[in-house]
Every structure is written in structure tokens, then in C-alpha cells.
């Protein structure tokens, strides 16, 4: 159901990430590419992009979608803190706050690894969840989205708890698939997202090889009225 709700990136979010691809000679890498939500629209634009993810299931969804679209993805099963290749990239991007899923002890190691994968003038784009742009707690189940398909409807319910000591948002999402007023299937997901304070992530970046950072606020990127911050980072090599 996550797949049906979040199949392919589009609109403002997609336009924003595509705007960093100056030409088709650029090599792009998407760590944590998941089900190919962003990777596939990039491939459809003829961009040379590779991706990797920890989840075999997510990579399988990506491959299935590519078969339907007659595309052959270059995707690997790997971890952001360990991925290695002889290749260097012009652009590395992690949309949708995926980087904020990483526990604190993997952050420095992952940034160091990403820095080693970039060309000298390469750029890293990271969508980061901050305390200023992330929604408040939802103590009781609340309906947060509804997607209508020809026969079915998916209703998203959410509960959110913020742990101030760990600066972590604990979210439970329940997707309910309905057909003719009847529940066909329910799927529940739990995840923890690290929320960064203002300037906190800039400091982490500069300590781990990315001293030059520009923050972009992308408005209406995940739907009207919702905005998120993308950190555009250059390595020390580029300065």
C-alpha cells in the first residue's frame, strides 16, 4: 500500500531534484532509493542514475515497476554506511527525509562515505527533517491522507509521538485499503525519525567533510501546504 500511495515522485519535489542535473553526462547516485520513487522518474528523463537500498523488498518493487515501464535499473542491495564502488558521482541525492531515519551512530560514517563517492565538484542533496518543519504530535489515530483509485481507496491513519530527550519522532502509520465500504487489507508501519535543531545539522555536515552548505526550502513538495528542507552540500575538495 505504501507502494500505491508513494509510487513515483512528481510535481514540485521532482522538479526541484531534476533542476540539479545540468546535462545528461552527469552521473547520479541515489542511496536509500527504496521503491524507485525518485530513481524511476530520473531514468525516464534519460539521466544516468544508480541507486541502492538496504531493503530487498523495496528493490524488488523498483525492479517490478521498471519492467512495466521497459526500463533497466542499476540498483544494488547495500547500506549507506558501507556502499563502495570505483565510480565517482556528480550528484548524490537522498530525498524524502530518508537520511533522518539513520541512528546518530551511523551519521558521521555515512557522510564520510558519501563524500568519498563524490567527484571533486560534486554535490550532495539531503532532505533533512528539522524541528521547525515537522508536524506536531498526534496522540490518537487521525486520518492524514486519502487516495482514490478506480475501485479502491487507501486511507492513511497516523499516530505520532515526539521524544524530546532523543529528538526523535516515533510515527505509526496504518494504511487501510477499502473497496465498496469494506476493509480489504490493513498494513502498519513504525519508524523513528531524528529531528535536527536549527544549525545542528549544518555543524554535523561541516565536521564531516561538507563545510559549504546551502539550505533550500521546497514548498508544496510533498503536497500543497507542506514544505521541507534540502541541504545542498559541497565537499572540502570542491573549495
Ligand X SMILES: C[S@@+](CC[C@H](N)C(=O)[O-])C[C@H]1O[C@@H](n2cnc3c(N)ncnc32)[C@H](O)[C@@H]1O
Which parts of this chain interact with ligand X (CB under 6 A)?
32-34, 37-38, 53-55, 58, 79-80, 95-96, 98, 101
What's the rounded Cα separation, in Å, for the pair 180 and 27?
A: 47
Minimum Å distance from CB 40 to ligand X?
Answer: 10
For residue 150, what is the DSSP state?
S
Tell me if 73 sits within 8 A of 104, measured CB to CB. Answer: no
Nearest residue relative to ligand X (C-beta): 34
Backbone conformation region of residue 25, classed left if phi is above 0, alpha if psi is from -120 to 50, else beta: alpha
* Cβ proximity to ligand X, 42 vs 210, nearer residue: 42
* Cβ proximity to ligand X, 109 vs 211, nearer residue: 109
The x, y and z cell numbers of residue 239, run together, are 573549495
* Cβ proximity to ligand X, 187 vs 236, nearer residue: 187
* Cβ proximity to ligand X, 32 vs 169, nearer residue: 32
* Cβ proximity to ligand X, 87 vs 237, nearer residue: 87
Minimum Å distance from CB 97 to ligand X?
Answer: 7
59-65: long-range pairs with CB below 8 Å, 24+:
59/33, 61/3, 61/34, 61/35, 61/36, 62/33, 62/34, 62/35, 62/36, 65/7, 65/8, 65/35, 65/36, 65/40
What's the rounded Cα separation, in Å, for the pair 218 and 180?
A: 37
The x, y and z cell numbers of residue 6, run together, are 508513494
Minimum Å distance from CB 69 to ligand X?
Answer: 16
Minimum Å distance from CB 49 to ligand X?
Answer: 12
Minimum Å distance from CB 239 to ligand X?
Answer: 28
Tell me if 192 sits within 8 A of 220, measured CB to CB. Answer: no
* Cβ proximity to ligand X, 106 vs 138, nearer residue: 106
Minimum Å distance from CB 59 to ligand X?
Answer: 8
Amino acid at each position: 500500500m505504501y507502494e500505491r500511495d508513494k509510487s513515483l515522485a512528481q510535481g514540485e519535489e521532482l522538479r526541484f531534484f531534476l533542476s540539479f542535473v545540468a546535462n545528461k553526462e552527469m552521473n547520479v547516485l541515489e542511496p536509500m532509493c527504496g521503491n524507485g520513487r525518485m530513481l524511476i522518474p530520473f531514468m525516464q528523463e534519460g539521466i544516468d542514475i544508480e541507486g541502492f537500498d538496504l531493503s530487498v523488498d523495496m528493490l524488488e518493487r523498483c525492479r517490478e515497476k521498471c519492467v512495466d515501464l521497459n526500463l533497466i535499473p542499476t540498483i544494488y542491495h547495500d547500506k549507506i554506511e558501507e556502499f563502495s564502488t570505483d565510480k565517482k558521482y556528480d550528484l548524490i541525492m537522498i530525498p524524502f527525509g530518508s537520511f533522518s531515519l539513520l541512528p546518530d551512530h551511523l551519521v558521521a560514517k555515512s557522510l564520510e562515505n558519501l563524500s568519498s563517492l563524490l567527484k571533486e565538484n560534486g554535490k550532495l542533496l539531503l532532505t533533512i527533517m528539522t524541528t521547525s518543519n515537522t508536524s506536531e504530535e498526534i496522540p490518537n489515530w487521525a486520518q492524514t491522507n486519502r487516495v482514490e483509485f478506480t475501485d479502491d481507496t487507501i486511507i492513511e491513519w497516523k499516530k505520532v509521538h515526539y521524544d524530546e530527550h532523543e529528538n526523535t519522532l516515533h510515527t505509526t502509520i496504518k494504511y487501510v485499503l477499502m473497496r465498496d465500504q469494506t476493509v480489504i487489507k490493513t498494513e502498519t508501519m513504525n519508524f523513528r525519525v531524528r529531528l535536527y535543531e536549527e544549525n545542528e545539522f549544518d555543524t554535523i555536515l561541516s565536521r564531516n567533510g561538507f563545510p559549504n552548505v546551502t539550505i533550500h526550502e521546497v514548498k508544496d513538495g510533498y503536497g500543497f501546504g507542506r514544505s521541507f528542507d534540502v541541504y545542498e552540500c559541497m565537499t572540502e575538495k570542491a573549495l
